[in-house]
A = this chain, B = another copy of it.
Amino acid sequence: MAEKLTPRSEDFSAWYNEVVLKAELADYAPVRGCMVIRPYGYALWENIKAGLDRRFQETGHVNAYFPLFIPYSFIEKEAEHVEGFSPQLAVVTIGGGQQLEEPLVVRPTSETVIGHMYAKWIRSYRDLPLLINQWANVVRWEMRTRLFLRTTEFLWQEGHTAHATKEEAEEETLRMLHIYEDFAVNDAAIPVFTGRKTESEKFAGAVHSYSIEAIMGDGRALQAGTSHFLGQNFARAFNIQYLDANNELQYCWTTSWGVSTRMVGAVVMVHGDDQGLILPPKLAPYQVVLVPIYHNDEERGRVLEAAHQVVAALEGAVRAKLDDREEYTPGWKFNDWEMRGVPLRVEVGPRDVEAGQVVLARRDVPGRAGKRAVPLAGVREQVVEMLSTIQKDLLERARKFRDEHTWEPKTYEEFAEAVQQGFARAPWCGDAACEAAISQETKATSRCIPFDQPEDKGTCIRCGREAREVVLFARAY
């Protein structure tokens, strides 16, 4: 913990890996491309889960669990789906010592098996809408992996809904996109662009895909959540039908949407600095860490007594941890908790006890500027208020960074330069060939087509033909 991190500005990628490992968010697993989510990282993920799950429940969704294994034939039923996932599958061929007659796919996503069950469960319009979410692990055989951002196995939630009408399904698709946006902005303090994916970037099997796109500290984009309008593609492939009020058989309209452990990576890359993580208070496993400071046994008694008073005062209002380990110095603890990104540190020393105060030190504001002495009496209110300020300030800082790294280039040269540092909002002709050329020439991909489009879209940034829409491009993780 003592060694310094590679500075973020020097080598962002090395910095990222070091932070994730040293803050003990995750570790490499003994299987290629897989990771272990360590307790501190898992607590962060559990807070992300809680924030999302609450929003799902509030909008009428329920959780369920579908099987890990999918018959290979299921994946083949939807043409685009099989094409999209075939190169990424992990396949079980042996079970109980026997070669299996039909190999089983370890789910890369559950549209197919859930489609199969929905066909069985849904009988009439009374069964609709069916709004189910699943928290699960999925596996995609990835060539180049990176902790949290791209791993062979990852954790996620996948929502799968079935509706009587196209309109309802489209509405649901956007509702969930906006829930993701709301979570990202208000819980993770990550500003996002929202919009529709281009045809070449959409989910295999979807009619339309939508995403939330965030900018990381190095200017690269990260897709942090997706929501798909699947039309009747999966309903037709899996025969998901219902009897309408006129007793006529109709195909359902379905959606799916997901957020994964990638979100942990986003939190690291958006907020962290050269000292390590900076966690938004709403997601931080510990929002406050108390570090007692003393030089002898007499001081120790008084200081720890005051520290316990603070812990008691904070109970029920904030997630606080008292670090009373004897084997480490206060300075070592400061560094350790800074690395782990605890938003607020409470220092309690003998002079503080005498003065009836404690010192609050903000993780996001280094040095003296982030420190403030507050009276012991009002510590609960002060801490709660300070955490709320930190949450707000982190979002503002990230928003400022995002806005400063979003350009509207006038020429392809400007465009090519802009996407090396952030987002470029640029007109596009709509031709997939042009999109592919942009990607090859600049390494930037289309991230999403924002909802609010100008009336006059101008001409394609690359080919000069009439533009069909204005698109956000960026180099992406």
The residues of A with any CB-CB pair to B shorter than 8 Å are 27, 29-31, 34-39, 41-43, 45-46, 62-71, 74, 86-97, 103-104, 106, 113, 116-117, 120-121, 126, 132, 136-137, 139, 141-143, 152-153, 155, 327
Contacts and interface: CB of A to CB of B under 8 A. Distances in A.
A164 B94 CA distance: 39
Contact of A70 (B31, B106, B120, B152): B31
Contact of A88 (B65, B96, B116): B96
Contact of A106 (B35, B106, B120, B126): B106
Contacts of A121: 27
Contact of A42 (B65, B117, B139): B65
A34 B97 contact: no
Contact of A90 (B30, B39, B92, B155): B92
Contact of A63 (B42, B68, B90, B116): B42
Contacts of A96: 87-90, 141-143
A94 B91 contact: yes
Nearest to A328: B126
A31 to B, nearest CB: 5
Nearest to A102: B31
A283 to B, nearest CB: 15
A157 B132 CA distance: 23
Count chain B CB atoms within 10 A of each CB in A86, A91, A92, A116 and give the residue with the most. A92
- CB-CB nearest 3 A-B residue pairs: A96-B141, A39-B62, A91-B94
A31 B65 contact: no
Contacts of A92: 90-93, 106
A65 B139 contact: no
Given A34-B69, A65-B155, A69-B90, 11 more contacts: A27-B121, A29-B113, A30-B113, A31-B69, A34-B68, A36-B64, A42-B62, A68-B153, A86-B97, A95-B152, A96-B141
Contact of A36 (B31, B62, B65): B65
Contacts of A66: 29, 36
6 contacts: A29-B66, A36-B64, A36-B66, A43-B62, A65-B155, A68-B106
Nearest to A261: B65
Given A27-B120, A91-B94, A120-B27, A139 B39 contact: no
A29 B67 contact: yes
A137 to B, nearest CB: 6
A324 B113 CA distance: 32
Contacts of A87: 96-97
Contacts of A94: 89-91, 93, 103
Given A64-B36, A95-B90, A137-B68, A126 B327 contact: yes
A107 to B, nearest CB: 11
B153 A69 contact: yes
B71 A31 contact: yes
Contacts of A136: 137
B89 A63 contact: no
A42 to B, nearest CB: 5
A357 to B, nearest CB: 31
A237 to B, nearest CB: 14
B36 A63 contact: no
Nearest to A140: B96
A67 B31 contact: yes
Contacts of A36: 64-67, 117
A24 to B, nearest CB: 9
Contacts of A88: 96
Contacts of A68: 34, 68, 106, 137, 139, 153
Nearest to A41: B64
A28 to B, nearest CB: 9
Contacts of A95: 89-91, 141, 152
A160 to B, nearest CB: 12
B63 A43 contact: yes
A393 B283 CA distance: 41
A39 B131 CA distance: 10
A64 B39 contact: yes
A327 to B, nearest CB: 6
Count chain B CB atoms within 10 A of each CB in A63, A65, A74 and give the residue with the most. A65
